[in-house]
Structure 1
């Protein structure tokens, strides 16, 4: 009888995120909301090699850090969580192109699923007057869906209030993202750390997967540069011109005019677009909804 095959080691980025979260002191969701909900904030993104990530997080979570260590979001003994998001856009990808052109009145629309709990949120991410990110959200329950009338009314009211514009028509699912996330929190600051990012073009079924050795780190605060930003800079890591939505499309659809994201997208997705995913819904198939989670969590 042959010996069982050895278990495959977890990719470096996923292992680094799990180990950093496991070594940090815990913090509950209610305290995260009280200390650093940050629905209006400044964001910076970084593509961080796993070994560098380990060193940076060891500094931030050090119990002797002045002001206290960053702590890891912990829910039911879990410190890393599965996130699933579906983005909605027009057939002509208005949201993508508004971001590409740097339009002041730009927004993203998505359904977010927190997979451990099954909680779902309909979210609208806006760009504030100071260049900050402003998030509006509406919980989804039962058979609620983002294209239903209540969500579309919420979208219309949000865009009229924030920008004085009408909501786009003919929205359809455009892109899905899946990844594992750990969140580290200090007063007024959050650091989200994502591994295993998989992006699927829901209109073609093509996929891209992030380099297994990179952690996507996002700093979120009410101000500009944070201690985490400065520490990453000290380790030679510079901010990346990268968002999951636009960076994925830069890799999935090379013909799109996406030069501003191309360099970071090539680094994040070095293998480029994969073959169509047989399990991904095509343009004529309804989106099969997945479970979604912790409603006060962020972007």
Structure 2
């Protein structure tokens, strides 16, 4: 968990969820991910410029619980596309927030950028898609160039639980998330993995590095290849192809 003092967050102006969503959306984003110790993440949080940054607050809380359930085929098609750097790769998951919201999300890669697509509501009532959910996933994948999307084969593959602090860098409208308390469950095998000593900082910007990127660079941290789904699944299943995440696995898992 992030153990930074309350002073670090108390000095940052808050923003509510409606205001964050209503702001200029980053529908097509460049993601930069950093894997570091929870202590180093706390240090970075202490050094954030409070004059240019706001922190998401929901019901008086700024450190919010998240649960993601990732879907894949029995052959792990989504994982293998990511592992091999395929052009038409994708990730499908449900996301449940401590604040009460639930979404079905499909992320695709287009011209080196991550494009998220979201459908509000619960769309896996019995482990399979609702009619609206299946249509949403199929249309999104076809629109991203995925031929014959395997909708009927998709099932829960991995669950991830963590806590998240969300920041908005106002000058660039970039969003920064700091995730800690990371735990994963392989739904297929029942194995699990916990890394409470780690934190994942992710920046989402329109292109140029934001304030957090520059801050982390000054502290000696560089972006890493990391995926909450693929890296964790590879860590629990050493036989899976994992060349893309080998350095991260060797250093942190």
Larger gyration radius, structure 1 or structure 2: 1
Taking the aligned partners of 2:89 and 2:71, their CA distance within structure 1 comes to: 14
User: Residues 36 and 185 of structure 1 are in contact (CA less than 8 Å); yes or no, is this contact kept in structure 2?
Assistant: no
Question: How many residues matched?
Answer: 249
**Corresponding residue to 1:84 among 49, 62, 67:** 67
Residues 18 and 194 of structure 1: is their aligned pair in 2 closer, same or farther, counting only changes over 3 Å?
farther
1:39-50 → structure 2 map (5 Å cutoff) = 39-50=27-38
Greater strand proportion = 2
Could you say if the C-alpha distance between residues 167 and 143 of structure 1 is closer, same or farther in structure 2, counting changes exceeding 3 Å?
closer
What is residue 9 of structure 2 aligned with on the other side?
A: 21
TM-score, normalised relative to structure 1: 0.77
- Uncovered stretches (5+) of structure 2, i.e. residues with no partner: none
Using the alignment, how far apart are the partners of 2:215 and 2:83 within structure 1? Answer: 29
| Cα offsets for 1:4-23 (capped at 9, x unmatched) | xxxxxxxxx33238764344
In structure 2, how many angstroms separate the alpha carbons of the residues matched to 1:40 and 1:84?
A: 23
Supply the distance in 2 between the matched residues of 1:21 and 1:47 (Cα, whole angstroms).
Answer: 21
Distance 1:142 1:155 in 2: 11
Instruction: Name the CA distance, whole Å, in 1 between partners of 2:229 and 2:203.
Output: 17
Structure 1, gaps ≥5 residues long: 1-12, 63-67, 270-299
Please give the root-mean-square deviation of Cα atoms over the aligned residues, in Å. Answer: 2.1
Whether 1:102 and 2:104 are equivalent positions in the alignment is no
Q: So what's the TM-score if we normalise by structure 2? A: 0.90
Corresponding residue number in structure 2 for 1:5: none
The whole-number CA distance in structure 2 between the counterparts of 1:88 and 1:141 is: 14
Moved more, 51-60 or 194-203: 51-60
1:60 & 1:36 partners in 2: Cα distance? 21
Cα separation, partners in 2 of 1:157 and 1:193, compared to 1, 3 Å: same
Q: Which residue of structure 1 lines up, in the alignment, with residue 107 of structure 2?
A: 125
Q: Are positions 1:219 and 2:200 aligned together?
A: no
Residue by residue, what CA displacement relative to the aligned partner does 1:235-257 show, whole Å, maximum 9, x if unpaired?
01111111100110111100111
1:227 positional shift: 2.2
203 and 71 in structure 1: CA distance in 2 versus 1, 3 angstrom threshold:
same
Give how far 1:39 is off: 2.6
SS of residue matched to 1:103: coil
In structure 2, do the counterparts of structure 1 residues 104 and 207 end up closer, same or farther at CA, with 3 Å as the change threshold? same
| Residue-by-residue CA offset, 1:139-184 (whole Å, 9 max, x unaligned) | 1149856522221111111112221622114111100000000101
Task: Name whichever of 30-39 and 40-49 sits farther off.
Answer: 30-39
User: Any residues of structure 2 matched to 1:259-298 within 5 Å, and which?
Assistant: 259-269=243-253
Q: Does the C-alpha gap of structure 1 residues 186 and 177 become closer, same or farther in structure 2, counting only changes over 3 Å? A: same
Q: Does the C-alpha gap of structure 1 residues 32 and 261 become closer, same or farther in structure 2, counting only changes over 3 Å?
A: same
SS of the residue aligned with 1:60?
Answer: coil
Question: Which of 23, 39, 42 is the equivalent residue of 1:35?
Answer: 23
Secondary structure of residue in 1 paired with 2:52:
coil
